[in-house]
């Protein structure tokens, strides 16, 4: 069975600062994908960033980047120059290659303070 753990239920940071959200996971597979999804108050699930396990290079999307530590099974999300629009729930998720099951963590509620 695969599991995803997010140990920070809530975080807050001042606008323009950098914040890092933690995620650890467990899977017996060697080929898998990791995702960070953002869920604003509108409830829509929005993909923030994706990492393929076979790629050593950490994924980056504008202000969002990940620190993927495969041996440690850690997948943290760094948000640089945080903006008010980044206020949302953030979910870490894992799926094995070719598997439909997307396993989610319990989420981190991030608040950006003006």
Partner 1 sequence: NAGVTQTPKFQVLKTGQSMTLQCAQDMNHEYMSWYRQDPGMGLRLIHYSVGAGITDQGEVPNGYNVSRSTTEDFPLRLLSAAPSQTSVYFCASRNSGLAGTNEQYFGPGTRLTVT
**Smaller CB separation from partner 1, 100 or 114:** 100
Q: How far apart are CA 31 and CA 92, in angstroms?
A: 17
> Count residues contacting partner 1 (CB under 8 A)?
21
Our measurement of the distance from residue 26's CA atom to the centroid of its chain's CA atoms, rounded to an integer in Å, reads 15
DSSP 9: S
Contact between 16 and partner 1 (CB under 8 A)? Answer: no
Q: With binding defined as CB under 8 A, does residue 19 bind partner 1?
A: no
- Which residues within the stretch 88-107 sit at the binding site for partner 1 (CB under 8 A)? 91, 93, 95, 97, 100-102, 104-107
Interface with partner 1, residue 84, by CB under 8 A:
no
Alpha-carbon torsion (67, 79, 89, 34), positive or negative: negative
Contact 36, 77 (CB under 8 A): yes
Kindly give the pairing relationship between strand 10-14 and strand 108-113.
parallel
Binding mask 27-46 for partner 1 (x = CB under 8 A): ------x-x------xxxx-
The Cα–Cα gap between 27 and 30 comes to 8
User: Which residues make up the interface to partner 1 (CB under 8 A)?
Assistant: 4, 33, 35, 42-45, 47, 50, 52, 91, 93, 95, 97, 100-102, 104-107
């Amino acid at each position: 069975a695969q599991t995803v753990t997010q140990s920070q239920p809530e975080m807050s940071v001042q606008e323009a600062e950098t914040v890092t959200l933690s995620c650890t996971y467990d899977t017996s597979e060697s080929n898998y994908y990791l995702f960070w999804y953002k869920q604003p108050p509108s409830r829509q699930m929005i993909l923030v960033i994706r990492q393929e396990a076979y790629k050593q290079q950490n994924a980056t999307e504008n202000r969002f980047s990940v620190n993927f530590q495969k041996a440690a099974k850690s997948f943290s999300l760094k948000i640089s120059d945080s903006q008010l629009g980044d206020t949302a729930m953030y979910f870490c998720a894992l799926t094995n290659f070719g598997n439909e099951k997307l396993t989610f963590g319990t989420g981190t509620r991030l608040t950006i303070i003006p």
